[in-house]
Amino acid sequence: MHDERPVRGSGILPTDAILLLLAAVIYGGIFPVNRLAAEAQWPPMGFAFAQSLTAGVILALAAAARGRFTISAGQLLAYLIIGGLVVGLPIGILVSAAPHVDASVLTLVLCLSPTFTLCIGVLAGFDRFDWRTLAGMLLGVAGVAVLALPDVGVVGSDGIGWFLVALIAPVMFAAANNCAKWLRPEGASSLMMAAGTLLGAAVVAGVVMLALGSAALPSEWTGTTAMPLVLATVINAVFFVLFFELVARMGPTRFSIFNYLAVAAGILWSLAVFDEQPAASFWLALVLMLAAMYLVLSRKPN
């Protein structure tokens, strides 16, 4: 089950850096798309299910055409775990929070993913913990506090609860970063992993949707309803191929620097699409979280 391909010990190659930037720009768009889905009355788990299923089917057909899509018991388990952690559950959480918290603010939750990624690696014995890690964690917590404290103009009192719920998402993303390395079947291509993970995410989201008695689709189907699904499908199909390719090349902790770029891209997408004007304390929180990531990611690799 474990991917044994070696991870480069030092530096990031220019091609990897370009792919990392591309992945961040693409994935940053998912946050305004989540808000568009909420405004179009998509049920949160229904939207997670629909986007995962459509993108997964498209990639599975592409993998099958190349003769590279296979499913064993071990692969199925990996697809379900990674898919549930990276799409099936967190996207439902973020879509639920989207009507209550600005998309640019929700984007900041990605800043906590690198620290969580490293912490999970440390707890699992695959990485080391040092003072930079501790300082980074404290700065990340300070950034969250700036956003969540009342009367600072970033998250309104009615949105604090939803913002705190949204913090579950980066924990899941961090777990998925590590599992993408640990659980990857030997010889599995990035295309096959992306297809299987998205289909696994659809299964997890579908089970949760049925358990909650949630609707799968909006009550009315229009162009406004279809647009978020089309955009989310394209984002997922392209991003997850890049995700598995980059994690295999760089390792989960180094890949998590992607969140630094995705935060910036997500904020710019949100400002452009919704013309949001964050309060000054928003930028303070951003600086604290980016400083946290710098401390965590500038440490020497294990």
Q: What is the pLDDT of residue 152?
A: 52
Q: What is the pLDDT of residue 4?
A: 45
Q: What is the pLDDT of residue 156?
A: 57
Q: What is the pLDDT of residue 131?
A: 76
Q: What is the pLDDT of residue 13?
A: 67
Q: What is the pLDDT of residue 61?
A: 94
Residue extents of the structural domains in the chain:
18-297
Rounded Cα–Cα distance for residues 141 and 38 (Å) = 28
Average pLDDT per consecutive 10 residues, the chain (302 residues; last block may be shorter): 47 73 86 86 88 94 81 80 83 78 70 76 71 73 66 58 82 82 80 90 88 84 87 94 86 71 74 71 75 66 53
Q: What is the pLDDT of residue 73?
A: 73
Rounded Cα–Cα distance for residues 87 and 115 (Å) = 19
Tokens representing 225 are 């309803």
Rounded Cα–Cα distance for residues 161 and 156 (Å) = 10
Region of 41 (left: φ > 0; alpha: ψ -120 to 50; beta: rest) is left
User: What phi and psi values does residue 202 have, to the nearest 5 degrees?
Assistant: -65, -40
